[in-house]
Amino acid sequence: MDFLKDHSIQNELLLIFFSVILGLFIGAEREYRNKSAGLRTFILVCFGACLFTILSIKIGVDDPDRIAANIITGIGFLGAGVIFKGDNKIDGITTATTIWATASIGMAVGSGYVYLSVLGTVLVLLILNSLTYLQNIIDNNHKIREYKIEVTDIKDLEYCENLFKNNHLKYSVIKQKLSGQSSITLWILTGKNKNHQAFIRHIQIDDKIKSYEF
């Protein structure tokens, strides 16, 4: 009986160690990209989810999913902590969902589904890395960007529109602020990335553009 108990403990320790390794792989990828949650965070998420799952199986004999279900809730709060609003968009959503996926991998390890956890880790790494190239292709051909452009004369707004057309950029106005003859307009421009770059090079030396921000 003691032998079986010791053997069970050894298996659980092995599962915990394995969850740390899988968390390390995902955390290393996030650390390499300098994301808000890095190496230690993902190791601890995977390890913690694994340990809680083992405990859920051990002490929740009648209701083994009781603790496991609360892991998902806890990970939700943790993921919300890495989501923040940037200047023009919401950042950290990918990192938050990666934390959520890493917790599921830890739970799979804790439940003894080692092969499933390895497959999950491989898929997470493939999604984070390989699909970046697809994202870049989309951005290069259909880049949407906000520009805040200040002109010295309100009449120059039409001049800006002509600039957009000359650089093959579709445009729309989000917000406009007038101060005397000066005008600050928030534009949404859509087009190929190379067209955005050509437009930026132009307005850097354009005397009619007082300031710009994107």
Tokens read off for 20: 């740390």
Cβ(38)–Cβ(92) below 8 Å? no
* Residue spans per domain, the chain: 2-139, 142-213
Other C-beta atoms closer than 10 Å to the C-beta of 91 total 16
Question: 24-62 pLDDT, tens per residue?
Answer: 999 888 888 777 677 888 999 999 999 988 888 877 666
Q: How far apart are the first and last CA of the chain?
A: 68
**Domain 142-213 of CATH type 3.30.565.10:** no
Strands 143-151, 170-179: pairing is: unpaired
Cβ(74)–Cβ(48) below 8 Å? no
Residues 6+ apart with CB under 8 A from 96: 79, 80, 82, 83
Helices marked H in 81-113: 93-110
C-alpha span between 61 and 48 (Å, rounded) = 20
User: Residue 89 has what pLDDT?
Assistant: 63
Residue environment code for 49-68, b if the CB has 16+ CB neighbours within 10 A, otherwise e: bbbbbbebbeeeeeeeeebb
User: Residue 6 has what pLDDT?
Assistant: 47
pTM: 0.70
User: Tens digit of pLDDT per residue, the chain (214 long)?
Assistant: 444 344 467 788 899 999 999 999 998 888 887 776 778 889 999 999 999 888 888 776 666 666 667 777 778 777 777 777 655 566 778 888 888 899 999 999 988 899 999 999 999 998 888 777 777 888 788 888 889 888 887 777 888 888 899 999 998 888 888 776 678 888 899 999 899 999 989 888 888 888 888 8
Q: Which DSSP string corresponds to 36-65? A: SS-HHHHHHHHHHHHHHHHHHHHH-SS-TH
